[in-house]
Amino acid sequence: MSVPIDVTGRLRKMPAKAGSPVSYALKVGDTEVPLNELIGRKVRLDYDGIIRCIHCDRTTKKSFSQGFCYPCFRKLAACDSCIMSPEKCHFHLGTCREPEWGERNCMVEHVVYLANSSGLKVGITRSSQVPTRWIDQGAVDAIPMLRVSSRYLSGLVEVACKQHVADRTNWRAMLKGDVPELDLLEERRRILTLIEGDLATLKQHHGDDSINVVDEASLSLGYPVDVWPSKVKTHNLDKTPEVEGLLEGIKGQYLMLDTGVINIRKFTGYEVRFRVLD
C-alpha cells in the first residue's frame, strides 16, 4: 500500500536530474515529492490565494519574474532586463544593481549551446547550469558550442547566432513531443562557420581567450511521459485555483495531466496544497 501524499507550502521550480528518463520532484515548501513514480496516478493542486516572494517572503498580490514581489523585482539584479537580454549587461558600466551578485553569476564562464526542444535553437547558460537549463527547456538533445568568459559576451555571441537560428522554443510543439530529428554535430559546424567573422571581431575587442570553441559531445535526454497530448490546454492557478487530473507526463517545467498542462515554474511562490488522490 502506497504512503498517502498530502503536502502544503510554497511552490518552487521543479528539481530535475538527467537520466533515462529525467528524474523530477515537486518542491512544495521544504518537501520534495518524487514525481516519476506518480505517473498514471490522479493528483490535485489547490492554490490558497497567497503568493510569497521567494526572496524576501513578503506577501504579494502578483508574482513578478517568476516568484518575486514588485520591490524585489525592481531592485534585484536577478530581475534586471539584462537577464533576459544578456547583451544589455551593464556591469562594466558600474551600474549593476548588485555587483557582488553579478560577480558570482554573470562574470563567470558561460556556455553558448544548440538544443533541440521543438527544432533547432541557440541558448546560453552558466557552465554550472548544464544540463539543468536544457532539461528546463524540454530539450531532447543539446550540445555545447562555445565557452565564453562572461554572460555579457555570451549574449553578444547569441545575437550573432540569432541571424541564422532561432532562440525560442515552441513550447506547444515541445509538449506534444513534436520534435524533428537533428544532427547537432553538423548543426554546430554549420553555425560556427556562419558566425566565424563575428567571433573574430568579438575576440579583437575582448581577447583571444574570451571565446573558445569546444569539441564536446551532445547529450540526449528522455522524459517520463506516458501519453503525449494531441492538443495543449493550459491550467492557470490565477483563474482556476483547483487543478486535478491524471498525471500523464513531465517535461521541461510542465506537469502534463489528462485535463491540461501546468507550468510549475510560472507559479513559483504560490502557496499550494498538493495531493495524490488514489
What 3 state SS string does the chain have? CCCCCEEEEEECCCCEECCCCCEEEEEECCEEEECHHHCCCEEEEEEEEEEECCCCCCEECCCECCCECHHHHHHCHHHCHHHHCHHHCCHHHCCCCCHHHHHHHCCCCEEEEEEECCCEEEEEEEHHHCCHHHHHCCCCEEEEEEEECCHHHHHHHHHHHCCCCECCCCHHHHHHCCCCCCCHHHHHHHHHHHCHHHHHHHHHHHCHHHEEECCCCCEECCCCECCCCCCCCECCCCCCCEEEEEEEEEECCEEEECCEEEEHHHHCCEEEEEEECC
pTM summary value: 0.94
Q: What is the pLDDT of residue 278?
A: 83
Per-residue pLDDT of the chain (278 residues; tens, 9 = 90+): 466 899 999 999 999 999 989 999 999 999 999 999 999 999 999 999 999 999 999 999 999 999 999 999 999 999 999 999 999 999 989 999 999 999 999 999 999 999 999 999 999 999 999 999 999 999 999 999 999 999 999 999 999 999 999 999 999 999 999 899 999 999 999 999 999 999 999 999 999 999 999 999 999 999 999 999 989 999 999 999 999 999 999 999 999 999 999 999 999 999 999 999 98
pLDDT value for 2: 62
The whole-angstrom separation of Cα 131 and Cα 113 is: 11
Q: How many whole angstroms from its chain centre is CA 118?
A: 14
**Pick from 205, 196, 197: which is nearest to 149 by CA?**
205
